[in-house]
């Protein structure tokens, strides 16, 4: 369990908070590029408790400005996106993507007042079909992290997102928790069918429901292997990566794709969950792309301009996430009908911010315990000593993958992976020997 003070430090991400300051040191992918069009409608955006306005100017550059005009505080959501800037409709002040006031038509022509105004604006970059934002203090932002999916052609990648009504840490903890896979997402029998849509299919099934965790610190965060004895003399290892500050790279379930999720806090009570699958060597097939992006039962609710009412799944607390007790009795461990809705149900069901002073953690929670500690220690080191958090200035540290490894009992999951590495050394990630020598990452193998 955590003390009340540590739980507050871990979860609160608004301006001036220790964890909020930590997250602001890193680039965050927050929108699809296609969500903004040149000279198109501005878009309300909530990030780390701040109200922002996103727009794309006439030249295609993306701006992320503070919501309230620097003149009298009118919302720039109503602004005119025209001629390389966003113009407030109240008195006509116009700002470019860098926050410079480029026109002040209600002032005399000889006035230089506009040159003294600088509106809140955060740097944005685009890569891999995503818009990234840097909300930190540096005049010159760090480099974007070398995450593999964001260095590949877009045809190799499928990305999906949805809002959850809970604190960001609850989502992240679900991603790095291998133990719940033996229960929440499973079918009831080895030969059964859970009836999940899209990529869920039959659902998972594990004969050995007790995971044995081995956790290791890395330069970029933490990783662990969760071992299950699925057959006599055989151990099935799922290797999961946590990369500071919000990246979770769970073990692949298919040899044809690599998985990752990330969790962008909108405010203390809402998080945007992003999910990505990619193939490093070839484009995803239409079937692979469709399977991953298949809509959950009910699909999405109609979007509004409210940033907390966009990308919301129809399954929510108001309809019990489409809970089906007959299916729970006969088909699947949970009556909720899809992986995404199952995660959403349990994470939102904890409340906006779970009271971690009342937890009773077990050995299966070892990774989660250490991730919390790593996040809090990094936030305290930044706050108290000005220590730059891990990975901020080392984009190459993010060139890693998760792993699935099937081994004879007694084989070491790290050492055994050396031979499997050879198939991947030509990819834009660190070579096998380099990764092992640096002690940073486990073998990125596939089922054998």
pLDDT digits 0-9 by tens, 381-405: 999 999 999 999 999 999 988 888 7
219 & 300 share domain: yes
Q: How many other C-beta atoms are found inside a 10 Å radius of the C-beta of residue 123? A: 19
Treating both helix axes as pointing N-terminal to C-terminal, what angle do 366-385 and 168-175 enclose, rounded to 10 degrees? 130
**Do 127 and 208 belong to one domain?**
no
Kindly state whether residues 114 and 241 are assigned to the same domain.
no
Question: What is the DSSP-derived secondary structure letter of residue 363?
Answer: G
321 in the same domain as 232: yes
Q: What per-residue confidence (pLDDT) applies to 200?
A: 59
pTM above 0.75, yes or no: yes
- Do residues 124 and 160 share a domain? no
Taking residues 148-176, report their average pLDDT: 95
Domain annotation covers residue 367:
yes
The verdict on residue 19 lying in a domain is no
User: CA-CA distance, 320 to 118, in Å (whole number)?
Assistant: 47
Q: Answer with the one of 90, 108, 134 that is the final residue of a domain.
A: 134
In a domain, 385, yes or no: yes
With respect to residue 114, please indicate whether it lies within any of the assigned structural domains: yes
Q: Are 206 and 303 members of one domain?
A: yes
Q: Tell me if 244 is assigned to some domain.
A: yes
Domain that holds residue 116: 27-134
- 164 and 125 fall within a common domain: no
Q: What mean pLDDT comes out for the span 93-118?
A: 96
Given a cut of 50, whether residue 428 has pLDDT beyond it is no
- Decide which of 278 and 421 is more confident: 278
Q: Are residues 232 and 317 in the same domain?
A: yes
Are 400 and 429 spatial neighbours (Cβ–Cβ below 8 Å)?
yes
Residue 107 CB burial class (10 angstroms; 0-12, 13-18, ≥19): middle
Q: What is the pLDDT of residue 115?
A: 95
pLDDT on residue 202: 80
> Do 2 and 372 meet the contact criterion of CB atoms below 8 Å apart?
yes
Of the two residues 292 and 23, the one the predictor is more confident about is 23
Same domain, yes or no: 160 and 128? no
CA 305 to chain centre: 22
pLDDT of amino acid 199: 55
Evaluate if residue 424 carries a pLDDT over 50. no
Shared domain check, 78 and 165: no
Mean pLDDT across the chain:
89
Structural domain total, the chain: 2
Q: In the structure, what pLDDT confidence band is assigned to residue 129 with cuts at 50, 70 and 90? A: very high
Partnered with residue 249 across adjacent β-strands are 241
CATH, residue 31 = 2.102.10.10
User: What percent of the chain is modeled with pLDDT above 70?
Assistant: 92
Q: Find the mean pLDDT for residues 249-271.
A: 91
CA–CA gap between residue 186 and residue 376 (Å, rounded): 33
**DSSP H helical ranges for 65-142:** none
pLDDT at 2 over 70: yes
Instruction: Assess whether pLDDT exceeds 70 at residue 351.
Output: yes
Contact between 261 and 175 (Cβ < 8 Å): yes
Q: What is the pLDDT of residue 198?
A: 60
Q: Does residue 152 share a domain with residue 78? A: no
Residue 252 lies in a domain: yes
Q: What's phi and psi for 150, nearest 5 deg?
A: -90, 5
Tell me the backbone φ, ψ of residue 51, rounded to 5 degrees: -95, 120
pLDDT at 417: 53
Last residue of a domain, one of 104, 134, 164: 134
Task: Characterize 29-65 residue by residue with b for buried, 16 or more Cβ atoms within 10 angstroms of its Cβ, and e for exposed.
Answer: bbbebebbeebeebbbbbbbbbebbbbbbeeeebbbb
Q: Which of 1-15, 157-171, 202-216 has the lowest mean pLDDT?
A: 202-216
The whole-number pLDDT of residue 203 equals: 82
pLDDT greater than 90 at residue 345: yes
Per-residue model confidence as pLDDT tens digits over 4-30: 999 999 999 999 999 999 999 999 999
Residue 421 has pLDDT above 70, yes or no: no
Q: List C-alpha distances in Å: 306 to 46, 59, 149, 211, 406.
A: 9, 26, 29, 41, 46
Tell me if 101 is assigned to some domain. yes
Is residue 205 within 8 Å of 191, Cβ to Cβ? no
Q: What is the pLDDT of residue 438?
A: 35
The domain boundary residue, chosen from 105, 134, 163:
134
Convert the pLDDT of each residue in 38-97 to its tens digit: 999 999 999 999 999 999 999 999 999 999 999 999 999 999 999 999 999 999 999 999
292 and 227 housed in the same domain: yes
Q: pLDDT tens-digit profile of 185-203?
A: 999 998 898 888 765 578 8
Dihedral pair phi/psi, residue 214, rounded to 5°: -125, 115
Please indicate, yes or no, if residue 341 is contained in any of the structural domains. yes
pLDDT at position 423 over 50: no
Between the alpha carbon of residue 29 and those of residues 33, 132, 139, the distances in Å are 10, 4, 19
């Amino acid at each position: 369990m955590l003390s009340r003070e540590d739980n507050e430090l871990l979860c609160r991400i608004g301006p001036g908070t220790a964890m909020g300051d930590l997250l602001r040191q890193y680039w965050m992918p927050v929108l699809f590029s296609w969500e903004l069009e040149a000279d198109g409608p501005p878009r309300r955006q909530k990030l780390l408790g701040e109200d922002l306005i996103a727009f794309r100017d006439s030249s295609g550059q993306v701006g992320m400005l503070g919501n309230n005009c620097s003149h009298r505080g009118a919302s720039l959501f109503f602004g005119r996106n025209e001629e390389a800037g966003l113009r407030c409709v109240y008195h006509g002040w116009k700002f470019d993507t860098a926050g410079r006031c480029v026109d002040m038509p209600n002032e005399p022509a000889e006035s230089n007042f506009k040159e003294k105004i600088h509106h809140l604006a955060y740097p944005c970059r685009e890569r891999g079909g995503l818009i990234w934002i840097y909300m930190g203090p540096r005049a010159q932002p760090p480099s974007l992290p070398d995450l593999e999916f964001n260095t590949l052609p877009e045809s190799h990648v499928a990305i999906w997102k949805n809002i959850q009504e809970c604190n960001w840490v609850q989502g992240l903890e679900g991603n790095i928790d291998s133990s719940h896979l033996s229960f929440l997402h499973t079918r009831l029998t080895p030969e059964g069918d859970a009836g999940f849509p899209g990529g869920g299919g039959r659902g998972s099934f594990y004969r050995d429901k007790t995971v044995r965790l081995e956790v290791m610190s890395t330069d970029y965060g933490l990783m662990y292997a969760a071992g299950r004895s699925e057959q006599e003399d055989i151990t099935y290892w799922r290797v999961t990566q946590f990369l500071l500050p919000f990246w979770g790279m769970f073990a692949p379930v298919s040899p044809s794709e690599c998985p990752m999720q990330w969790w962008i806090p909108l405010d203390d009570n809402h998080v945007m969950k992003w999910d990505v699958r990619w193939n490093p060597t070839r484009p995803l097939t239409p079937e692979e792309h469709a399977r991953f992006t298949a809509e959950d039962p009910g699909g999405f609710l109609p979007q509004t301009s409210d940033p907390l009412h966009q990308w919301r799944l129809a399954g929510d607390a108001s309809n019990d996430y489409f809970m089906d007790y007959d299916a729970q009795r006969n088909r699947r461990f949970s009556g909720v009908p899809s992986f995404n809705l199952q995660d959403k149900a349990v994470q939102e069901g904890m409340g906006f911010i779970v009271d971690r002073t009342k937890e009773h953690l077990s050995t299966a929670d070892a990774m989660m315990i250490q991730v919390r500690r790593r996040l809090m220690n990094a936030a305290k080191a930044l706050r108290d000593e000005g220590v730059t958090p891990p990975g901020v200035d080392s984009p190459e540290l993010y060139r890693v993958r998760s792993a699935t490894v099937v081994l004879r009992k007694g084989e070491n999951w790290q050492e055994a992976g050396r031979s499997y590495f050879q198939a991947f050394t030509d990819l834009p990630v660190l070579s096998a020997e380099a990764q092992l020598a640096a002690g940073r990452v486990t073998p990125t193998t596939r089922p054998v």
